[in-house]
Structure 1
């Protein structure tokens, strides 16, 4: 068996592999597994964080995800998984309510999943979501305006911010780039994340749906702590350990 205490490069390579596989690591567990001190593990995580591999959190680290490129590119991936998440989210919407639907490919799929007899008001900053909903016979659509950021697929500037601050939502379906029990919901675009925060403040219930490849992980900018999110809709394949960590943050988990 390799003496990991004597070979820091091999030790850090193994930690990197564990991060890629599990999305998060705990210092005490790694110290026991590799027969080194927790201080040594913290030094390793510091080095890996400087490489952009992870973000240090209390007691360990979370995998730092890379930007997923353009909105158009994201629409081409994980169709089946997003479809299941979207249908589950659509089931949470009640007749006569006013909801906000954020940009995002899963939220776009949700717009197509609403039943024909659902009478609601939908506010969105995403033109493709608005276009889908305009075909729905009973849904009133309110489109937030301003410049459309193509990489996001929606409006997140001052005009949209001013408009959303004047509406109270029963539910807000918020998109995100990464999420972990330790860091909450995070994203790659600063303006987009600030807009999401405003939407959450205006909503009585915040719902996030995410594919398993984004959990657990962390992006650059904070959107919301776990305590600010009411419902997390996830794939059943997510590890029991990660699900338990979210449940400890008192988030309602719905699996598909």
Structure 2
């Protein structure tokens, strides 16, 4: 067996592989597996974090996900998975409610999955989602204004934030870039994440729909702690350890 204490490069290659496969590492477990000190593992994680591989968190590290690209490109990816998640999300919506649908391709699938005769008030910052919402003759659609960010496909900035502060939402479907037990819900763009925080403050129930590759993972900016999320809709392939963790924070988990 390779003496990992004597070969730091090989040790970091192994840690990188575990991060890519598992999404996270725990210092005490990795130290025992490789027969080195926890200090050594923390030093390795520091080096890997400099390369953009992971973000250090208390007790270990979480895989740093790459930015997913523009809204236009993403909406053609994982279509079948997003449609299944969307159907489950639609089942949470009640008639005559006021909901917010955040920008994002999974949330676009939610708008497309709404029954034609549904009656509600739907607010969004996404022009693409607004187009889908307008196909429902018994529903009212409100679009928040401002500069359209290409990455998210939604309006951001002070204009959009000021408008949403005048509305109380029964539910908010928040777009997600990454989620991990250690860091909560995170995103890549500061302005987008600040907007999501403002939406959450106005919402009685926060719903986050996630495809499996986003858990566990971390982006640069924090959107919400696990305790701020009421419902998560996820793929059934998500590992049980994460499902169990989120349940301990009183998050209702719906798998599809």
TM-score (norm 1): 0.98
Partner residue in 2 for 1:237: 237
Distance, in Å, in 2 between the alignment partners of 1:97 and 1:32 is 52
**Contact 2:116/2:135 (8 A) holds in 1:** no
Distance, in Å, in 1 between the alignment partners of 2:2 and 2:247 is 36
Partner residue in 1 for 2:44: 44
TM-score (norm 2): 0.98
Q: Which runs of 5+ in 2 are unaligned?
A: none
RMSD: 1.0
Please give the residue correspondences for 1:1-256 in structure 2 after superposition, counting only pairs within 5 Å: 1-256=1-256
Q: Which runs of 5+ in 1 are unaligned?
A: none
CA offset digits 1:65-121 (Å, max 9, x no partner): 111111111111111111111110010001110000000000000001111232111
Q: How many residues align?
A: 256
**Contact 1:100/1:124 (8 A) holds in 2:** yes
Distance, in Å, in 1 between the alignment partners of 2:76 and 2:89 is 20
Distance, in Å, in 1 between the alignment partners of 2:53 and 2:243 is 23
Distance, in Å, in 2 between the alignment partners of 1:180 and 1:140 is 35
Residue 137 of structure 1: how far off its partner (Å): 2.1
**Contact 1:181/1:249 (8 A) holds in 2:** no
1:61 counterpart SS class:
strand
Distance, in Å, in 1 between the alignment partners of 2:147 and 2:51 is 35
Distance, in Å, in 2 between the alignment partners of 1:10 and 1:190 is 35
Structure 1 stretches (4+) deviating beyond 4 angstroms?
Answer: none
